[in-house]
Structure 1
């Protein structure tokens, strides 16, 4: 009983100083959100959120590619994709770009292709499909010109989306390939309309106009028509991809689900499409490296040369570690992240 009475007193005697209130806070700004009027989408408005790379304000002469993020509203996928873009400013593993997140309002309508019979889709999805063509018009005629008129873009554009938005990416590549330069389709809903965009992909590809384009395609552990439709698309790409279309398919089914795929594969897509060259430098003795010797004339020449994607040696980080002695100061384009199961450069 005495001990029980002494415990509160001991707590007072040995407690540290009382904690005060938190100091005044300040907001952490990840981007700027604009409310955009759109006549094409029946007079509605869309929130468009833009993140600029740090280089944008640092050099007024620079222009940047744009990545348009579907389902990119402030409460949707914008924040975590913008976070990946910000991580580049810490590790410089890919090129800087402008992120434009586009809010979806009724995504099951506005991002979905037309179907022969809407009834089963309306019952399952509680939305009438078929708004994708009009949504592409909104991107082409209203949003892209608005972004290009107000920001320093360089004319190279990408579109990315996941699930139903990933299907919009695939449909856009097949139906309107010149609308974007790069297409990032993450776990696209290839089951749509009994795998229409897998079954008919070869016919679409045969009609493609000339031009350079790139597709990054990935899927998780989805089965049924989702997986089969994706495999049909990969087969068409393997056999019928037109000249100028570079593509890769990353199968993440052993490691990711439909719900977990987007974030890690978005990072992988950015590294694959916009990876920047790097160099391997000699380690310091402090961490177990050799004694630093004076660089040779050949090594100095390597350091003075500019590294580009075209003149860099492609290799994985594992290979770079094993070959380190032979590649000091050379330009490397490290193949980070998972290895594509198939790609147009597989040979």
Structure 2
């Protein structure tokens, strides 16, 4: 059941889309799942986009974030900045589910390893190997719980750092259908003296991964003592095996184009293991959604006869194929373009866009408000008033009320 509100107090300027409650700024809620598989209550942090301004009931892809206590807020910030601010539609609006760790060495490791020096000794190896139960928890308890309570679409992304990256790689290989895309940040491919890496390579040779995306990052330095430019020759240092494992994985995946996996990799020379997550989250999400962004050329922008609405429809048909479900052009995107073309007196473009919005969202007040703006701009005050009235029938709002009053006075 839903728990108490997760509060983030900020001393700097914040996104206007953050919820406000009791003079505090909230970015989500803490929900609780009673896990019979793990035999414990698991708290999860959930962010859902705010669509109060457009009034459209929407469903969203979901990003699941391992080590949510450390990474949740940064992923939410990226989703808001690149998917919800005006004229910034690099990413779709998305739900973010942060999964805080209670015992990460237990939950995030694929199988038990007695000891794996230099990373841990026999004592440190005792809790390892709970990955099978943790994946079962995700598949059979957490994801169904989220789908039952929140407005989700079937497209799912998994983000993991270090052991979390190891867990994400294990899920890609052994539970492929559970997620659509994966971001593995400095993953612990050294696991079990690189034996997990070898098993991963064999599995990826067999698997057909068409429609899956994977982005992997490698930090340039760990603890300030190893430069990855020398890592391929490094067989002596404690951390050399960490770098070599990821580089070997990258070498292998670059040669596996036949398995259908869409793969991206970057070496971040100036970042260490702990500074790497935020920049990788940014680059990984932009890699996954590279083809989501809609753009117009200068010629299309200036040509008053160009049918922007038709290009938008065609673009989001391709986006729908990528995501695996039907996604129409977002109402706020179409409204912003329409209003912009009214300002430029390109009324044909504006009319086509607002008509597209009415076609896709006939029960939403904002689309009639927009078409009313178009009609008022071309001087058809009678019809404009009718559309503002339609908007008000669907939802009383001060914007449409003010415009209607100005037309009939």
Length-normalised TM-score, structure 2:
0.61
- Residue of 37, 58, 65 corresponding to 1:69: 65
Alignment of 1:269-308 (within 5 A): 269-275=284-290, 276-279=292-295, 295=303, 297=305, 300-301=306-307, 305-306=311-312, 308=315
How many residues matched? 275
Other-structure match for 2:110? 113
For structure 2, which runs of at least 5 residues remain unmatched after alignment? 1-20, 222-230, 232-239, 320-348, 350-409
Deviations 1:291-336 (A, max 9, x none): xx96364xx2357521627879xxxxxxxxxxxxxxxx9xxxxxxx
**2:8 aligns to what?**
none
For residue 185 of structure 2, what is the aligned residue in structure 1? 186
Determine if the alignment matches structure 1 residue 262 to structure 2 residue 280.
Answer: no
1:97 aligns with 2:63: no
> Are 1:37 and 2:34 counterparts?
yes
**Counterpart pick for 2:79 among 69, 76, 85:** 85
The 1:59/1:251 distance shift into structure 2, 3 A limit, reads: farther
1:61-80 CA distances to partner (integer Å, 9 max, x unpaired)? 4221111000113xx32122
Any conservation in 2 of the 1:71–1:101 contact (CA below 8 Å)? yes
Partner of 1:16: none
Residue pair 2:197, 2:245 contacting (<8 A) in 1 also = yes
Alignment partners' CA distance in 1, 2:65 and 2:197: 23
CA distance in 1, matches of 2:67, 2:179: 17
The answer for unaligned runs of 5 or more in structure 1 is 1-23, 284-292, 313-328, 330-347
Q: Does residue 237 of structure 1 match 2:253?
A: yes
Q: Judging changes above 3 Å, is the alpha-carbon distance between structure 1 residues 260 and 281 closer, same or farther for their aligned structure 2 residues?
A: same
Give the Å deviation of 1:92. Answer: 2.4
User: Would the aligned equivalents of 2:68 and 2:100 in 1 still touch at CA under 8 Å?
Assistant: yes
Bigger mean CA deviation after superposition, 83-92 or 238-247: 238-247
Question: C-alpha deviations, 1:209-242, integer Å up to 9, x for none?
Answer: 5652111111111551111111221222123355
SS of the counterpart of 1:154?
A: strand
The normalised TM-score by structure 1 is 0.71
Q: Distance in 1 between matches of 2:315 and 2:32?
A: 38
Deviation at 1:46, TM superposition (A): 1.0
- 2:272 counterpart SS class: coil
In structure 2, the CA distance between the partners of 1:301 and 1:110, relative to structure 1 (3 Å rule), is: same
Change (3 A) 1:178 1:184: same
Q: Is the 8 A contact 2:116 2:193 kept in 1?
A: no
- In structure 2, distance between residues paired with 1:86 and 1:267: 12
Determine which structure has the larger helix proportion and give its number: 2
Residues 60, 125 of structure 1: CA spacing in aligned structure 2 closer, same or farther, 3 A cutoff? farther
* Counterpart pick for 2:244 among 228, 233, 241: 228
Question: CA 1:242/1:304 → structure 2, altered by over 3 Å: closer, same or farther?
Answer: closer
User: Aligned-pair distance for 1:123?
Assistant: 4.6
Contact 1:166–1:185 (CA under 8 A) maintained in structure 2: yes
Query: Where does 1:85-234 land on structure 2 (aligned, <5 Å)?
Result: 85-88=79-82, 89-90=84-85, 91-118=88-115, 121-123=120-122, 125=124, 128-209=127-208, 211-222=210-221, 223=231, 224-234=240-250
**Aligned pair in 2 of structure 1 residues 209, 182: CA closer, same or farther (>3 Å)?**
same
Structure 1 residues 154, 119: closer, same or farther in 2, change over 3 A? closer
The Cα of 1:160 is off from its aligned counterpart by 0.5
Deviation at 1:28, TM superposition (A): 0.6
Aligned 8 A contact 1:205 1:242 in 2: no
